[in-house]
Structure 1
Amino acid sequence: MMGEAGEEESAAAPAEVSRQAELDEQRCLAEALDALSSLVSASLSATLFPLKWQLTRDRLHACLADTTVPAGDESGEDRRDAFVNLLRDVAATAREARELVPRSQGRQYGGGKLRLRSDLDVLAAALDAHVARLDEVHASGALTRARALVVPRPGAGATRDDVRFYVRDLFARLRAGGAEMRREAATALSEVLRDDEKCVRVVASDVADGVGVLVALLECPDARVREDVLEAVSVIAGSDAHRGDLVVGGVIAPVVRVLDAAASASSEAAKERAARVLCKLTENSDNAWAVAAHGGVTALLDLCTDHGASGGELVCAACRVLRSLAGVDEIRKYMVADAGAVPVLVSLSQRATDDAARIQAMELVVAIGSGDSSAREAVVQEGAIEVLVRALDASSSSKVREVALRAIDGLCLSPPTSTDRLLAAGFLDSVLSLLRTGDTTLQHCALKAAHRLCPVSEEIRKAMGDAGFMLELVSVLGASSKSPEAREMAAESLCALVSVHRNRKRFVQEDRDDVARVLQLLGSGDEEKLTPAKRFLLSTVTRLADSSSGRRKILTSEHESGEACGDRCPGRQTDREEAWREQAEEHFPWHLEPVM
């Protein structure tokens, strides 16, 4: 029994020694951390040689990048002893350097500025030596886990000094930290920039070459660091006051390289963030030339070409950037003539499965086609009109159809051009179908398209009459939920359509008594107030009265009496009809064309 007890005590002795050695290591580590933390905090108040102090803080943060010695190998105790000694040297150096801070505050020189400068150089050399020793230990495999000095993130309402201290600490880690430390610092920086706008000013103004560090890290081979830095850059790019700092710092070239599939193997997330950066940098066509000069147009169009592999958000962002670039005439001409943008974007408008990407592509096609006649012709010849008309099909979402209608308006109707091709694609049937739908927004857009088509030519008005537009326009006029603007467009369009003899004859002979409905609408409401819509209705009735069949319809209608229409309606006597016509001509002489 005594022998067994002795064996247990002898086995426990090494374990106790190892435990004590580990406690010594932890104590030395804590002392080093306290000394470094105190020095970093105190050095922020130094006013003399601020750049040297900033470089010193960078070295301080690099001193303890990885600090744990693994147990279990034969040389573990020797490594631990060496590491503990190194920690003590670091702490001693930090305490000695602490005495330099008061001398750097301008209150006492202790030998003058030259002496202070020399002492700071000596401190920098000592810290460099400590960093080199840590690198050697790390290369030996003894250091495995980061336990570096960590500055806590300031809470809500923190002062700018607290934020500055924290952000500078993050940049020190980005500059000199190991791989894992750099990843953590990049993530923390992107988060704090998103959450606190003060940090943007700190990075741009209070961190030595802060923008330059971020730009350099855009070339970092670590994908995670690159993604987080792109997010940080995106936040800064959203600041009007500091967006220019990024451009001056050379951010555009590495961001474009992230998007260039041939030059990098960036992740989808990195490309999305890079595209968002360019979106912000090119608002209102700013910096468009810089993006184009670095191959941005080609890189962005490649993303649109490979829209099946690229995510919808990435394609949308690429289209937004291209739309900003197209605001510059020379770049837009290059996109059309040399970069092959039109077929890529027309194809994207038709084949994209993501509605948002399809919408962005259609809007970009119109932006390019609205530039000049040659660009418009290139867009039309590529089949953009047919693609836009097919987008009006019921299989498309309401938003896609709405954008397609607006795109057609911008490309073909404002001013009218390529209307023959538009009608040949079946546009009238699509518009008529949308007028019958229950979607108020789509109805309004379709009504606007019909309103723009009516003045183009008599042939188009005949085609619209044959298609059945007049009956739908009367239905719009009779809907109490329609806005005054919609009623006016419907009334003006109806007036234009009945100016054609064939349409007038069809309107009078329809089985539905639409003439009576027009008279009813004309006489409804405030009889003393002649609204724009009623002016056009009055013109419509005047045109109908120019034919004998029209007059018979009017005279036999129950709404033809003065009770319904007031003095504006035609009576049974010729002199009264003439007086009514004269009053109509006085209200809208420009709408009364000679009729057959």
Structure 2
Amino acid sequence: MGEESKGQRDTHSPESSAEDSSLRKTIDFFSSLISLSHSIKVFSAKWQSIRSKLEELSSGLIALENCDSSENPEINGLILSMMVTITESYDLARRCVDLSYSGKLLMQSDLDLIYAKLDTHSRKLSEIYNAGVLTRGFAIIVSRPGFGACRDDMRFYVRDLVTRMKIGDIEMKRQALTNLHAAVVEDEKYVNVIAELGDIVHVLVSFLDSPETEIQEGSSKVVSVITGFDSYKSAVIGAGAIAPLIRVLECGSQLGKEASARCLQKLTENSDNAWSVSAHGGVTALLKICSLGDCRTELIGPACGVLKNLAGVEEIRRFMVEEGAISTFTKLSRSKDETVQINSIEFLQNIASGDEFIRQMIVKEGGIRALVRVIEPRSACSSKTREISLRAIENLCFSSTSSIGILLNYSFVDHLICFLRNGEVSVQELALKVAVRLSGTSEEAKKALGDAGFMAELIKFLDSKSFEVREMAAEALAGMVLVPRNRKRFVQDDRNIALLLQLLGPEQEHSGNKKLLLSILMSLTSSNSGRRKIASSGHLKNIEKLAEAEVYDAKKLVRKLSTNRFRTMFSGFWHF
């Protein structure tokens, strides 16, 4: 027989066959003992720990089958040692199943000793792999169980992958991470298995500091999936993930940075983790990413999201402001990427919450203009982005007279009425809410709304099916008609007063807020034409019936109309 090529295993040699037989026999013994351990009802916690170690060693031995180890005496010695431990373990397992042990304390001591021996074997096997004396052959990868497989099969598959991560070469680690990521993405039950086998999260977190790019990327992608489940975030935090995730942000590959940013965004949804991110330099790293113009939106988007989550902590907020975050995020609010734009707008809103000084900084940096551009009807922004921008404008601008003046100069009211007339339902309702709020800020705002034609639109909403919408429309109108020129414009259309009076009729009992409607009518009596049109309306009886029913505002309105009518008559008689 010719000499075999380097690295290829001679599967026909007696030594190789003997080793294969011994290795396969050991693997079979491990499998048999694992199965037997499931039927043990006593010392369950200790047997669960032993079973986890058995599964880990079994996976390691299966991986060993894929390597050329025929001339390694350490492996032969380790296999013989394992067989001795397995024999002892099998005897203890039988005695636990049959309840034939002599005493609980003695059995507990024996089980602790067995676990210690198995742990020693595991560490020895890892040392052999890490020494690099083995060459990978044609690997027989354990196939992922089919959908709906039992939990034990899933555990064994995951344990096998983790063993490969621990003791395999770089390629084996990379492949194991790839397979694990595919499993957790396609079936979330694998995330539950990972959580049960708690040491896996620690292994994944340790890989975040790997100098090998593919290992770092693979682990960060798996950790990102795990952090998507609220119940397992604490496990990731407990494994000390925040510091290495930030190191990936600072020095990792592009894909690694993106996965790391996604992880941190999910972890910082709980404000308790904000200080940990800040303590490890995360804020500086994230601000740097957001300020660079050459970063991909897949990275900037979640980076903005993390900072948005951190902006609620006052000390961190102040640091961000000092580092130029306002200018950075004002620029990002103009991004063409929806995720970046939304996160940056929400960041500006969060960081300015309850802080007038920061609000003014945003105004000086052109924040109002940037937000108004988002809601321009001709812009390509989505409805979701427009809604978020409208809320941000409301929260950032309505507490300041100067900011309202800037808004009015940027045609904000024209954009609002456009959405009120033609926007999608969600945007239309929000535009109405914002208009109502704006109408209560200043007389200039009331005038601007009136000049833009808002009253004609609000009148239509008084007959809406939604009580909330009806009430908002009535509230806005009640404020706007306090302005003389709005009052004059309102009464010019006879249908407006007729509709108000109709809505006060008994058949329209649930059509709106009577108090607000009566308030609007009371304001209209301040003008001669308003009084005349109310008094001459065929629906005046609706007010009179309310007055007879002792509705105070209706009685007040009737007295006002009656007094004015008497004065008019008296004035005519005197000049006769």
TM normalised by structure 2 equals 0.78
1:185 match: secondary structure: helix
Quick one: which of 434, 442, 445 aligns to 2:419?
434
Quick one: which of 513, 516, 538 aligns to 1:561?
538
Summarize the alignment of residues 246-395 of structure 1 with structure 2, pairs less than 5 Å apart. 246-260=236-250, 264-268=251-255, 270-306=256-292, 308-311=294-297, 313-336=298-321, 338-350=322-334, 352-394=335-377, 395=379
1:99 match: secondary structure: helix
State the distance in 2 between where 1:161 and 1:279 align.
33
| Paired letter, 1:520 | L
State the distance in 2 between where 1:372 and 1:417 align.
16
Matched, 1:60 2:35: no
Quick one: which of 414, 422, 440 aligns to 2:407?
422
| Paired letter, 2:538 | S
Q: Is the 8 A contact 2:439 2:445 kept in 1?
A: yes
Greater CA deviation, 27-36 or 160-169? 27-36
State the distance in 1 between where 2:417 and 2:126 align.
82
Q: What residue number does 2:498 align with?
A: 519
Greater CA deviation, 412-421 or 368-377? 412-421
Q: Is the 8 A contact 1:568 1:580 kept in 2?
A: no
Q: Measured at CA, do residues 171 and 14 of structure 1 come closer, stay the same or move farther in structure 2, by a change above 3 Å?
A: closer
Q: What residue number does 2:385 align with?
A: 400
Q: Is the 8 A contact 1:297 1:322 kept in 2?
A: yes
Quick one: which of 431, 434, 438 aligns to 1:449?
434
Aligned length: 529
| Paired letter, 1:532 | G
Q: What residue number does 1:5 align with?
A: none
Quick one: which of 84, 87, 96 aligns to 1:99?
87
Quick one: which of 536, 541, 547 aligns to 2:516?
536
Q: Is the 8 A contact 1:258 1:271 kept in 2?
A: yes
Q: Is the 8 A contact 2:518 2:557 kept in 1?
A: no
| Paired letter, 1:182 | K
Q: Measured at CA, do residues 119 and 229 of structure 1 come closer, stay the same or move farther in structure 2, by a change above 3 Å?
A: closer
Quick one: which of 149, 155, 177 aligns to 1:186?
177
Q: Is the 8 A contact 1:93 1:126 kept in 2?
A: no
TM normalised by structure 1 equals 0.75
State the distance in 2 between where 1:550 and 1:118 align.
93
State the distance in 2 between where 1:322 and 1:283 align.
10
State the distance in 1 between where 2:427 and 2:435 align.
12
1:532-569 deviation per Cα after TM superposition (whole angstroms, max 9, x unaligned): 3454333323322332222344456xxx114xx53317
Q: What residue number does 1:174 align with?
A: 165
| Paired letter, 1:468 | G
1:463 match: secondary structure: helix
State the distance in 2 between where 1:586 and 1:544 align.
10
Q: What residue number does 2:98 align with?
A: none
State the distance in 2 between where 1:34 and 1:409 align.
71
Quick one: which of 438, 443, 447 aligns to 1:458?
443
State the distance in 2 between where 1:104 and 1:332 align.
60
Q: Measured at CA, do residues 228 and 401 of structure 1 come closer, stay the same or move farther in structure 2, by a change above 3 Å?
A: same
| TM-fit CA distance, 1:438 | 4.2
Q: Is the 8 A contact 1:39 1:97 kept in 2?
A: no
1:295-324 deviation per Cα after TM superposition (whole angstroms, max 9, x unaligned): 11122222222355322x433322221122
| Paired letter, 1:334 | F
| Paired letter, 1:258 | V
State the distance in 2 between where 1:530 and 1:24 align.
95
Q: Is the 8 A contact 1:437 1:443 kept in 2?
A: yes
Summarize the alignment of residues 562-581 of structure 1 with structure 2, pairs less than 5 Å apart. 562=539, 565-568=540-543
Where in structure 2 are there 5+ consecutive unaligned residues?
Answer: 38-45, 96-100, 561-576
Matched, 1:234 2:224: yes
Q: Measured at CA, do residues 20 and 116 of structure 1 come closer, stay the same or move farther in structure 2, by a change above 3 Å?
A: closer
Q: What residue number does 1:468 align with?
A: 453
State the distance in 2 between where 1:20 and 1:421 align.
79
1:381-434 deviation per Cα after TM superposition (whole angstroms, max 9, x unaligned): 222112111211121323322221111112123687732222233222222222
State the distance in 2 between where 1:122 and 1:448 align.
65
| TM-fit CA distance, 1:31 | 3.4
1:69-118 deviation per Cα after TM superposition (whole angstroms, max 9, x unaligned): xxxxxxxxxxxxx66999988876765664343255484999x9699879
| TM-fit CA distance, 1:349 | 0.3
State the distance in 1 between where 2:442 and 2:178 align.
62
State the distance in 2 between where 1:486 and 1:33 align.
76
Q: What residue number does 1:147 align with?
A: 139
1:359-384 deviation per Cα after TM superposition (whole angstroms, max 9, x unaligned): 12111111111142222222222221
1:283 match: secondary structure: coil
1:286 match: secondary structure: helix
Summarize the alignment of residues 107-126 of structure 1 with structure 2, pairs less than 5 Å apart. 107=95, 120=117, 124=121
State the distance in 2 between where 1:67 and 1:178 align.
13
| Paired letter, 1:235 | V
1:489-522 deviation per Cα after TM superposition (whole angstroms, max 9, x unaligned): 222212211111222223334xxxx232331353
Q: What residue number does 1:215 align with?
A: 205
State the distance in 1 between where 2:115 and 2:508 align.
95
Matched, 1:546 2:526: yes
Where in structure 1 are there 5+ consecutive unaligned residues?
Answer: 1-12, 69-81, 571-575, 590-596
Q: Is the 8 A contact 2:522 2:557 kept in 1?
A: no
| Paired letter, 1:518 | I
Q: Is the 8 A contact 1:86 1:130 kept in 2?
A: no
State the distance in 1 between where 2:124 and 2:422 align.
76
Q: Measured at CA, do residues 414 and 194 of structure 1 come closer, stay the same or move farther in structure 2, by a change above 3 Å?
A: farther
Q: What residue number does 2:573 align with?
A: none
1:224-277 deviation per Cα after TM superposition (whole angstroms, max 9, x unaligned): 3222212322233344444223223221011111112xxx14123x22221221
| TM-fit CA distance, 1:125 | 11
State the distance in 1 between where 2:272 and 2:285 align.
18
1:40 match: secondary structure: helix
State the distance in 2 between where 1:123 and 1:451 align.
72
Q: Is the 8 A contact 1:63 1:130 kept in 2?
A: no
